[in-house]
Amino acid sequence: MHTRTLGNNGTDPLVVSALGLGCMGMSFGYGPPREQREMIALLRAAVDRGITFFDTAEVYGPWTNETLLGEALALVREPLVIATKFGFRIDAQGRRQEGLDSTPQHIRAVAEASLRRLKRETLDLFYQHRVDPKVPIEEVAGAVQDLIRAGKVRHFGLSEASVATVRRAHAVQPVTALQSEYSLWWREPEREMLPTLQSLGIGFVPFSPLGRGFLTGKIDEHTAFDATDMRNTVPRFSAEARRANRALTELLGTMAARKGLTPAQLALAWLLAKRPWIVPIPGTTRLERLEENIGAAAVSLDATELKQIEEAAERIPVHGERYSQQMARLVDR
């Protein structure tokens, strides 16, 4: 697989595979945790197929997803980039608590714990998972800068941050990557964020590039989710919204078939064609889906095809909010 560079750090460029692998669903968020041996095999299969960029967070589990990656990837000889995140409050028993914590002392503690779980000497990319309104972003950037100077962290990232926050953080410690939701059914970043990132030389890592699975065309109003699946709380995944939003997946399916692709491959290829510094991180727990997603990296879309896809998609309104009210409160605005 070809590679892309996140950020504009000439002294230590962060070079990653054009597609990364979002690992959250292996341990958290989309039903019960998957069997560890199967996920270790999947992670190593991803490496064998050219994936070098893996995304996790301490809150996934909590802690168990980082531990899984540490077990699966610690002995891999190929150079890998593992991104993890800080910012949520977790008690000593590993239970997520209400609220956020990006105080410098908490950031340092999370970095040390993540290094142990991941079995690494340095965190390649350390994101603030959600912006903490109680801690100035300048203090957060300064704390990560200290970790970079100490050799504990290579690169600083933000997640679901606003344009203003990105600019303030970048003025203290250069931000290598912003991670936020972006796909054919959530194109808000195109308005202000993408131009800002381009002007500052910051890479973009879209999470949920397949709309939490909906853009694959495999989900409809009859799909039943496990009781622990986070999509049960998302308005965009109500049965009524799924029924209405099938118009978008049907469009994707028709356009993908013309190029001999699956809807997922077309959705990912569209993202890859938008900017050379965009690196989507689709998640999966199945080898056949991993291979399907990887196939998108070899797809080329020209300007005419991009325009056709976008104009067709714009004519279809998307129904339902992308977050529950509780999660929406954590998005920086």
Domain of 205, CATH number, reads 3.20.20.100
Could you tell me what percent of the chain has a pLDDT over 70?
A: 100
Is the pLDDT at 301 greater than 90? The verdict is yes
Q: Which residue's entry shows tokens 């069997």?
A: 35
pTM: 0.97
The mean pLDDT value for 15-33 works out to 97
Question: Which domain range does residue 114 map to?
Answer: 3-328
pLDDT digits (tens, 9 = 90+) for 65-124: 999 999 999 989 889 999 999 999 999 999 999 999 999 999 999 999 999 999 999 999
Asked, for residue 80, whether it belongs to a domain, the answer is yes
Asked, for residue 214, whether it belongs to a domain, the answer is yes
Asked, for residue 333, whether it belongs to a domain, the answer is no
Angle (CA) 230 53 187, round 5°: 55
Alpha carbons within 13 A on the beta-carbon side of 133: 7
Residue 53 CB contacts under 8 Å (≥ 6 apart), including other chains: 16, 17, 19, 20, 21, 80, 81, 83, 279, 281
Asked, for residue 307, whether it belongs to a domain, the answer is yes
Asked, for residue 155, whether it belongs to a domain, the answer is yes
Say which amino acid occupies 333.
R
| DSSP assignments along 161-189, one per residue | --HHHHHHHHHHS-EEEEEEE-BTTB-GG
Asked, for residue 264, whether it belongs to a domain, the answer is yes
pLDDT at 279: 98
Torsion of CA 161, 167, 173, 175, to 10 degrees: 50
Q: Judge whether 183 and 211 are in contact, CB under 8 Å.
A: yes
Is the pLDDT at 220 greater than 90? The verdict is yes
**In the chain, how many domains are there?**
1
pLDDT at 77: 85
Residue 307 CB contacts under 8 Å (≥ 6 apart), including other chains: none
Which of 250, 238, 291 lies closest to 268 in space, CA to CA? 291
Reported as a pLDDT band with limits 50, 70 and 90, residue 249 is very high
Average per-residue pLDDT for the chain: 97
Q: Judge whether 243 and 220 are in contact, CB under 8 Å.
A: yes
Q: Judge whether 327 and 237 are in contact, CB under 8 Å.
A: no
The CA–CA distances, whole Å, from 181 to 133, 134, 185, 240, 323 equal: 20, 23, 10, 22, 11
Tell me how far the alpha carbon of residue 139 is from its chain's centroid: 24
pLDDT at 9: 81
Is the pLDDT at 215 greater than 90? The verdict is yes
Is the pLDDT at 11 greater than 90? The verdict is no
pLDDT at 205: 98
Which of 177, 195, 196 lies closest to 8 in space, CA to CA? 177
Asked, for residue 223, whether it belongs to a domain, the answer is yes
pLDDT at 37: 98
> Omega of the bond prior to 62 within 30 degrees of 0, cis?
yes
Residue 126 in 3-state DSSP? strand
127 phi and psi, to 5 degrees?
-90, 145
Residues with a catalytic annotation lie at 60
Q: Which residue's entry shows tokens 């802690």?
A: 63
Reported as a pLDDT band with limits 50, 70 and 90, residue 10 is confident
Point out the least confidently predicted range of 12-21, 72-81, 190-199, 232-241: 72-81
Q: Judge whether 214 and 241 are in contact, CB under 8 Å.
A: no
The mean pLDDT value for 257-277 works out to 97
Could you tell me what percent of the chain has a pLDDT over 90?
A: 97
